[in-house]
Amino acid sequence: MGEMANSSIELHSKPQQPRETPHVGGFGCTLAELRSLMELRGAEALQKIQETYGDVSGLCRRLKTSPTEGLADNTNDLEKRRQIYGQNFIPPKQPKTFLQLVWEALQDVTLIILEVAAIVSLGLSFYAPPGEESEACGNVSGGAEDEGEAEAGWIEGAAILLSVICVVLVTAFNDWSKEKQFRGLQSRIEQEQKFTVIRNGQLLQVPVAALVVGDIAQVKYGDLLPADGVLIQGNDLKIDESSLTGESDHVRKSADKDPMLLSGTHVMEGSGRMVVTAVGVNSQTGIIFTLLGAGGEEEEKKDKKGKQQDGAMDSSQTRAKKQDGAVAMEMQPLKSAEGGEMEEREKKKANVPKKEKSVLQGKLTKLAVQIGKAGLVMSAITVIILVLYFVIETFVVDGRVWLAECTPVYVQYFVKFFIIGVTVLVVAVPEGLPLAVTISLAYSVKKMMKDNNLVRHLDACETMGNATAICSDKTGTLTTNRMTVVQSYLGDTHYKEIPAPSALTPKILDLLVHAISINSAYTTKILPPEKEGALPRQVGNKTECALLGFVLDLKRDFQPVREQIPEDKLYKVYTFNSVRKSMSTVIRMPDGGFRLFSKGASEILLKKCTNILNSNGELRGFRPRDRDDMVKKIIEPMACDGLRTICIAYRDFPANQEPDWDNENEVVGDLTCIAVMGIEDPVRPEVPEAIRKCQRAGITVRMVTGDNINTARAIAAKCGIIQPGEDFLCLEGKEFNRRIRNEKGEIEQERLDKVWPKLRVLARSSPTDKHTLVKGIIDSTTGEQRQVVAVTGDGTNDGPALKKADVGFAMGIAGTDVAKEASDIILTDDNFTSIVKAVMWGRNVYDSISKFLQFQLTVNVVAVIVAFTGACITQDSPLKAVQMLWVNLIMDTFASLALATEPPTESLLLRKPYGRDKPLISRTMMKNILGHAVYQLTIIFTLLFVGELFFDIDSGRNAPLHSPPSEHYTIIFNTFVMMQLFNEINARKIHGERNVFDGIFSNPIFCTIVLGTFGIQIVIVQFGGKPFSCSPLSTEQWLWCLFVGVGELVWGQVIATIPTSQLKCLKEAGHGPGKDEMTDEELAEGEEEIDHAERELRRGQILWFRGLNRIQTQVCWGGKKC
């Protein structure tokens, strides 16, 4: 079918092939023509280019661009290109409007029940049957609500509706601002992505969105191509096209075989230049996106559950996310056991599940289900008791008959009972939980930006708090990534500092300068410093920068050499990759022969050397024995000083016999060693302290590096990763593999379990080893808890390890696009200390949620018991529906804001990680919750039953149906709220600390909310009147309420005195979901529902009601199995 389509396209464009007819805007190609060209591959594409344009430079001429100089940086020209060929931007899916979010918030089950109840209540209050006041219906005194005169009957229904509207608006606003923040974050990630183009002969870094058709772009290892193009010149270029084709083999690209480069594909090896031919919606990825956009709408209608907030992510991000899983699976060198299942799952779902449900969300979902069940049971019992009491008293005790005209009156009573029941449920169900999680995460993410952590997946921030192991790269993360040559071995002499140029033979000096200048990426340069007195700027690969710096230190310059032999004159380039660990470049000599320059890891390259230059610049044989000598006397001492050793070598080929360039082992062999360089990459000064903090916090830091084992060990000792006298392992990749694989070469978990606990340094490791190690630690079952592993990575091939880890950190500066796409958090300053900040923020999120829970559950327990017993004893809840909703608003929305925005402190790093199985509600918290509940219940019941005597006021109990609000019940309501306010201050500490005011002023949001709530409470009590069932109180009564409230703080100190260890009877609650309690379907469903926390916990109740419908494996309240 593809063939047919292609041939028909060719037929269409054939007629205009020979004449260069000027098209729109004076360019020689139309948009349609370029689009059809980009649909061809390989030989077909080449043939089409030759037929239509002659060759690639013909295409460049038609697009009015120069293959070497690029476009003139002329704004009008660029703008014109954007108008004709489009901009490099794929419009994101429309965000949800505020009204859509309001509609979603209204779907909340408890709110719907309340709305129905309120509407029924409203309807009945307007319906006044003729016989309403007649004795026949019985003026039952134990009435439901004391809502005042008859005509004020509607107030309560209206007030409930109003409260519902408030809750909905607050929820919708929260969702809306979260989405807005999220988009802001996305656009920031976008702006950070730049690409190298040539304009006016200058190399420029431009934002991806600024690319236009006709731009000449530099393509290098690790890039994610941002637009379609045709290759002009390439060195050993290999592309991973799996994101578009699904083929996992890397595709070789060359100007004479297959020059088509497509957007969204990854450069796995090599470098080159391409002319951009399609951008934005006209590029291959853009075309797929446009189709997805259309498909997505229908998909969404069919499947409301997988809330695609990915649409909120801007397009290229989404694109990457959709491909991510695929790419990772295909890049993955090991066929891990889960490979097959993953592919299955992928077929089922368009977007890849991001790891498993995060630890915190697992625990919260479970806790919420438990609380929801308890609330439902309580509210049902309340309603049943009220109805039975009413029916028995009216029809049995008083012996009345149900008269038709009395029906509305009775129904009105039943509706009141129903409303009380729903109110109990509303208070029992902590719908503030998801809100607290969202606020806490969103707040942390915003603040983490300041700490150089750009969070791509919200839940990563919380997972980081549980981290028990960090596998870090060395270069750039633990070290400054500013490399300099400090020792060298040239012409039989080991120089401990930079040699004077006069000390070197001209032949050696000349060879060395050429070998370094030519055999390094031409994009790597050393530029003059930006400020006076600063260090010169290093651009490009830092190891190469060190070598170029060495050339400058020898008072020579690399630029003239490069101008003499420009990049397109290079005959063949074998670019650096993790397998070769070397780079070689071949140039043609004036006599027709060839010269190969090579540089790479010294122990690898020296094995290929058969000669070495002596002090006069003449060849001397270099035997294995000499090599062993050199390793012992030169390379090992350098490595033990923490230096990386790089060998520089060359080889000449005579003119008459050209070798087979594809046989790399033949070509790069029989070399002559010119020099060995010792390159220092100093440890960042702040790293040793950061690593000490990690170790204190119970986190093991391991270094995984491609460097020589001696260098790695020296740096690890400087950082404090290994300490003298400790029992630890430092292994090389080969030895590591030998220890963990059986005779058949398969990895065995038991063998791995013997190695990883002591392993601190893994040197000369390949990306595969890194993935193996991470997977091995995560899958290990040796410890009491599953390890939570964070990994840093910067290279393209770190993708699989970054995806496998619980939290993947990519380097913002040195990282390739591929690594960034696979990561959860991007370190914008590439610094290890930022990871420690992430741990602090992660632990803080966890603690914030616990603080909120401690506060929330105290209110829940008290409110539910008061409403329940009040209803059973006095046939009426002491706290009215509207008052309950207000309490609910304070304790849910406001408290989640106040407690979730506590800033982190260093003390968070003084304890061990919580781990996956530690319950959310610890014994200490349970003690606080029950302790405060006892205090509050004692006060409220005392007020309820003897309060009128104490204050010398009328009793509010058993008031007739239409009586005004009583002072008695107002005092109860007011005292209740005062106690919550002061308990909110208690809730700031969850580990039994005594000083609850510690650092309270560092959180202005908390202070504002507590004072604000207090202000509103005064207004409600003094002026709330009938809607709030409040009657104004005197100053003395207010002071008593305050006094009881402050009692909470004193009582808090009393509770803190009781040692938790004595209270063995207390159960913990909110354990992580046990494996046996969750079926596979549920896990899969959980993954969909809480997969990116970006789509964020949908409003809380959905979870509970789903939990209730399923009535999951019956779980007792205590979080233990019954």
Rounded-to-integer distance, Cα 832 and Cα 721, Å:
13
**Helix/strand/coil for 994:** coil
Cα–Cα distance measured from residue 93 to residue 310, given in angstroms and rounded to the nearest whole number? 9
**Amino acid identity at 79:** E
Catalytic position from the list 473, 707, 798, 830: 473
Alpha-carbon span 265 to 316, nearest angstrom? 12
Q: Half-sphere exposure of residue 877, counting CA atoms within 13 Å on the CB side?
A: 29
Residue 232 in 3-state DSSP? strand
Give burial (CB, 10 Å; 0-12/13-18/19+) of 335: exposed
Residues 6+ apart with CB under 8 A from 133: 139
Q: State the Cα–Cα distance between residues 625 and 630, nearest whole angstrom.
A: 9
The token duo for 82 is: 């954007």
Q: Could you tell me which residues come within 8 angstroms of residue 1028 by beta carbon, excluding any fewer than 6 positions away?
A: 159, 880, 882, 883, 886, 965, 1020, 1021
Cβ-contact 503, 523 below 8 angstroms: no
Question: Is 586 exposed, middle or buried (CB count within 10 Å of its CB: 0-12, 13-18, 19+)?
Answer: buried
Spell out the SS3 assignment of 259-280. Answer: CEECCCCEEEEEEEEEEEEECH
CA dist., res. 897 & res. 891, Å (int): 10
**Numbers of helices and strands, H then E, in the chain:** 39, 26
Give SS3 for 649.
strand
Query: What angle, 0 to 180 degrees and rounded to 10, lies between the N-to-C axes of helices 832-874 and 881-889?
Result: 170
Under DSSP, the state recorded for 401 is: -
Cα angle value 1115/1117/1118 (rounded, 5°): 100
Distance CA 264, CA 278 (A): 12
In the structure encoding, which two tokens stand for residue 1072, read together?
A: 């992580």
Q: Which tokens is 529 given? A: 């410093």
Q: DSSP assignment, residue 1121?
A: B
Pairing between β-strand 789-793 and β-strand 469-472 as defined by DSSP bridges: parallel
Given a contact cutoff of 8 angstroms between Cβ atoms, the answer to whether 211 and 195 are in contact is: yes
- Kindly state the tokens that stand for 755: 């190695």
Question: What whole-number distance in Å separates Cα of residue 1026 and Cα of residue 145?
Answer: 11
Helices (H), 741-815: 749-755, 767-779, 799-804
d(CA 630, CA 649): 15
Q: Which helix (H) or strand (E) holds 1005?
A: helix 1004-1023
Identify whether 473 is a catalytic site residue: yes
CA distance 683 to 481: 9
If phi > 0 it is left, if psi is from -120 to 50 it is alpha, else beta; for residue 201 that is: left
- 594: helix, strand or coil: strand
Angstrom distance (rounded) from CA 1077 to CA 1122: 12
User: How far is residue 573 from each of residues 202, 519, 671, 890, measured CA to CA in Å?
Assistant: 23, 8, 16, 67
Do 754 and 770 contact (CB within 8 A), yes or no?
A: no
Cα–Cα distance measured from residue 1039 to residue 671, given in angstroms and rounded to the nearest whole number: 92
SS (H, E, C) 963-976: CCCCHHHHHHHHHH
Catalytic residues: 473
